[in-house]
Structure 1
Amino acid sequence: METGSGEIERQSDTMGLKDYYYALRLNDGRILRIAQEVDAVWVVFASGLPLCLGLILLISFVCVLASRILTRQLMKPIEDVAGKLNDDFVDSPYPELYPFISKIRKQHEEVLAAAKMRQDFSANVSHELKTPLTAISGYAQLLGSDDTPAEKRKHFADEIDKNANRLLALIEDIIKLSELDSDDNDEQFETVDLYELAAEELDSLSMAASQRNIDITLSGASTSVRCRPDLIRELIDNLVQNSIRYGNDGGHVTVSVLEEYGYKKLIVEDDGIGIPADDLDRVFERFYRVDKSRSKASGGTGLGLAIVKHIVEIHDAKIQIESELGVGTKVTVMM
């Protein structure tokens, strides 16, 4: 008070309060004193906490409720679109979703196509396996019968052998397709001479060609290509076997290896029976046969060209087929 004024504060630990005192000496000598009790900071915070928590809960509830309502409103058109994927035309509820809906629709169509392909494949496999098995069973019963003439037993045994070989060939092709579907091919690529591969494979097929009096020739030059040698051998074998199988006795098969316009080309050309124009788009389908009776009689499984197409796709290559009925067929693989 020596300066004419003074202040002091006192803390009440029991009440949790502070007392602020202020004194002022007036001109007439009297002293004016003021005192005020003030809550501690944590007391003020504690008293306002329930209100803050209540506001937070209320705001959170409103936000959750609003988000659920808005989400339902946004998702309902999309759910409607999902239920119309099989329709010929699906309109997008939002312009931004056009690319998304187009992609989903494409994937949906691919899934349906794959499912149908598996279903058709299973049905075809069952049929193709049943045919030779039925023949083997029938001829085996005749062969075991005491009433079967001796001169026919040799014929029945040959038929059993022929159908058993057909069954084995079919199973091998099915296994090959399964391996191609599930195999990891990237790590097995290597650089090889395509001409040498073709020469080796044609040498192994010379006996089959000579039985039909078909002349096989190889033309071209050494051409390096990065590929899976085992699959390329399979490809060459299937294409040349087809040319021999559907060629005319005394015909010709020409295999050419060359490099042209940046492509390494393998061409297999024959002067056989040819393929009708209406069948060209389907010859690479599994179990599709242009001439069913001739294919079965010659031992074809209906999977050869399907395997060829799969091998071509693994190598990111292209395949073209040209054919004229009664003139011949030309298959070109470009890598």
Structure 2
Amino acid sequence: MSKERRRRREWCATDNDDWQTPEEREKLKEISRQLRPPAKFIWMGIIGIHLSVVGTWVISYYTVRAIFNRTHPELGWPIWKQILTIELSFLLMYAIIKFAHVFVRPLRRQMDWFFHLIGAMKQLSKGNFDVKFKANPKYMGQFGPLVTTFNEMASELSQMERMRQEFISNVSHEFQSPLTSIAGFAKALQAGDLPDATKHHYLDIIETESKRLSRLSDNLLKLTSLESKHHPFEPKKYRLDRQLRHLILLCEPLWQEKDIEMDVDLPEVTIVADEDLISQVWINLLHNSIKFTPKGGTVGVRLTTSGPLVHALVYNNGPDISSEALPHLFERFFKEDKSRERERGGSGLGLSIVQKIVDMHDGEIAASNRPQGGAQFAVSLPASSTSSS
């Protein structure tokens, strides 16, 4: 394999030889024709070449003449002097070409990998997000940021594609599981000769799985709407402490059923935010805390302020969150214990929705374990948030 071919393969954007179809090569040739310099520049180049030939011959002629007139004026102008003049002219022409090549060669290299970059973009447009453009930094020049940005874009698109496929796989799995249960128990009920207690048990399971499907659909729609950047966002001034007290009272049947003690410290705090969206944050965090708190345990809600920020802390004295799960809590469909979550009716989307709403308000949310045991979620919001990004 020639050096030129190895060089081209090294700059090639993909690892396989068949990285261009004949149609793409024709398109690249068409682009090359479009990038061809105008005729006036071509004529200027031809004239420049002729002027260079004449100029080098004139310089060589007077150089040879001056040297021999100074050293051996009696020799005259024999044929070998003319040959020497021609040789010197060719030598000067060669030196000029090599000197020009120093400047032209990087440009040719840039054009070469520029066409390969177009081929890589074609691969990217066809869904090949694993494409990576390789080029020698020595010849990238002002196009260096373009190559770097292209590789970063391809890497981000590849990651997004993997997340999309994983999301579709998770959605399919989450829907398939309750549908399988519903179908199985419905078929069992068709058998007929079942005790009434068993029938009621099967019907309860079908009802539970149907509700889980409904919640999953609602959460998916809500998350999609929030991420579309077209979700209604109407910030207004209101009392955050009053909102939290109201939501805690709404959850009273849940924490009274488990005999949970509510540790509440809510000083008067005013905030500018979308009240409906922020209420979804507290509902999800409260339900999570109550769900994982043992019977007779404690769930706490605290409000503090520091400068322009409002800090809310929701905690419980239930089990700690594992160190492996902490970095992934806010990912879609993530469940630390999938079997327990399914029994509790969780979909793995609640905390993703919470994080998206907090992000829309330019806030931050973090999960951690308390030193005395249990999990806690800390939410920080600007007191006058007006963002919806």
What's the TM-score bracket when you normalise by the shorter of the two chains? Answer: 0.7 to 0.9
Displacement of 1:64: 12
Aligned-residue offset at 1:215: 2.2
Q: Which has the higher helix share?
A: 2
Mapped partners of 2:238, 2:365: distance in 1:
20
**Closer, same or farther in 2 for the Cα pair 1:187/1:144, shift >3 Å?**
closer
Aligned to 1:13: none
2:368 paired residue among 303, 317, 322: 322
Rounded to whole Å, the distance in 2 between the matches of 1:263 and 1:90 is 47
Cα distance in 2 between the residues matched to 1:315 and 1:321: 18
For 1:228-243, list aligned pairs within 5 A: 228-243=274-289
Q: 1:316: how far off? A: 1.4
2:197 counterpart of 1:162? no
Q: Do structure 1's residue 59 and structure 2's residue 95 form an aligned pair?
A: no
For residue 260 of structure 1, what is the aligned residue in structure 2? 306
Shift of 1:63: 7.8
Distance, in Å, in 2 between the alignment partners of 1:123 and 1:306 is 17
Q: What is the match of residue 77 of structure 1?
A: 113
Counterparts in 2 of 1:190-209, with a 5 A limit? 190-209=236-255
Aligned pair 1:106/2:152, yes or no? yes
Look up the SS of the partner of 1:277 in the other structure: coil
Tell me which of 234, 250, 274 is aligned to 2:320.
274
How far residue 101 of structure 1 moved from its aligned partner, in angstroms, is 3.3
Match of 1:146 in 2: 192
Residue 359 of structure 2 corresponds to 313
Partner of 2:182: 136
* Structure 2 SS opposite 1:278: coil
Q: Quick check: 165-174 or 70-79, which moved more?
A: 70-79
Deviation at 1:183, TM superposition (A): 3.5
User: CA contact under 8 A between 2:370 and 2:376: conserved in structure 1?
Assistant: no
Task: Tell me the TM-score normalized by structure 1.
Answer: 0.74
Question: 2:133–2:151: 8 Å Cα contact kept in structure 1?
Answer: no
Relative to the length of structure 2, the TM-score reads 0.64
Consecutive unaligned residues of structure 2, counting only runs of 5 or more, are 1-37, 47-104, 122-129, 382-389
Answer whether contact 2:260 2:296 (CA < 8 A) is retained. yes
Alpha-carbon distance between aligned partners in 1 of 2:373 and 2:133, rounded to the nearest angstrom = 42
Cα distance in 1 for partners of 2:144, 2:358 equals 33
Q: Deviation at 1:98?
A: 3.7
Residue identity over aligned pairs, in percent, reads 26
1:299 correspondence with 2:345: yes
Q: How many Å apart are 1:91 and its aligned residue?
A: 5.3
1:327 CA drift (Å) = 1.9
Structure 1 residue matching 2:251: 3-state secondary structure: helix
Contact kept, 8 Å, 2:181 with 2:206, in 1: the verdict is: yes
| Cα pair 1:275 1:324 within 8 Å, conserved | no
2:296 to 250, 263, 269: 250
Closer, same or farther in 2 for the Cα pair 1:95/1:233, shift >3 Å? Answer: same
Query: How much has 1:237 moved relative to structure 2?
Result: 0.8
Q: Secondary structure of 1:268's partner?
A: strand
Match among 208, 216, 234 for residue 188 of structure 1: 234
Deviation for aligned residue 1:184: 2.9
For residues 236 and 64 of structure 1, what CA distance do their matches in structure 2 show? Answer: 74
Q: Is the 8 A contact 2:132 2:154 kept in 1?
A: no
Q: Determine helix, strand or coil for the equivalent of 1:244.
A: helix
**Partner residue of 2:8?**
none
State the AA in 2 paired with 1:281.
P
Tell whether the 8 Å contact from 1:185 to 1:314 is kept in structure 2 after alignment.
no
Rounded Cα–Cα distance in structure 2 between residues aligned with 1:225 and 1:108: 41
Which deviates more, 320-329 or 119-128?
320-329
- CA distance in structure 2 between the partners assigned to 1:325 and 1:138 by the alignment: 45
CA offsets 1:6-64 (integer angstroms, 9 cap, x no match) = xxxxxxxxxxxxxxxxxxxxxxxxxxxxxxxxxxxxxxxxxxxxxxxxxxx95266589
Cα offset, 1:88, TM superposition: 10
Which residue of the partner structure matches residue 19 of structure 1? none
Q: What is the root-mean-square deviation in Å for CA atoms of aligned residues?
A: 3.0
* C-alpha distance in 2 between matches for 1:251 and 1:89: 59
Contact 2:225 2:231 in 1 (8 A): no
Shift in Å, 1:213? 1.9
Worse overlay, 120-129 or 256-265 = 256-265
On the 8 A contact 1:286/1:303 being kept in 2, the answer is yes
Aligned to 1:289: 335
- Give the Cα–Cα distance (whole angstroms) in 2 for the partners of residues 271 and 166 of structure 1: 27
Bigger relative contact order (CA 8 A; separation at least 6): 2
Q: Secondary structure at 1:94's aligned position in 2?
A: helix
SS at match of 1:120: helix
Alignment: residue pair count: 276
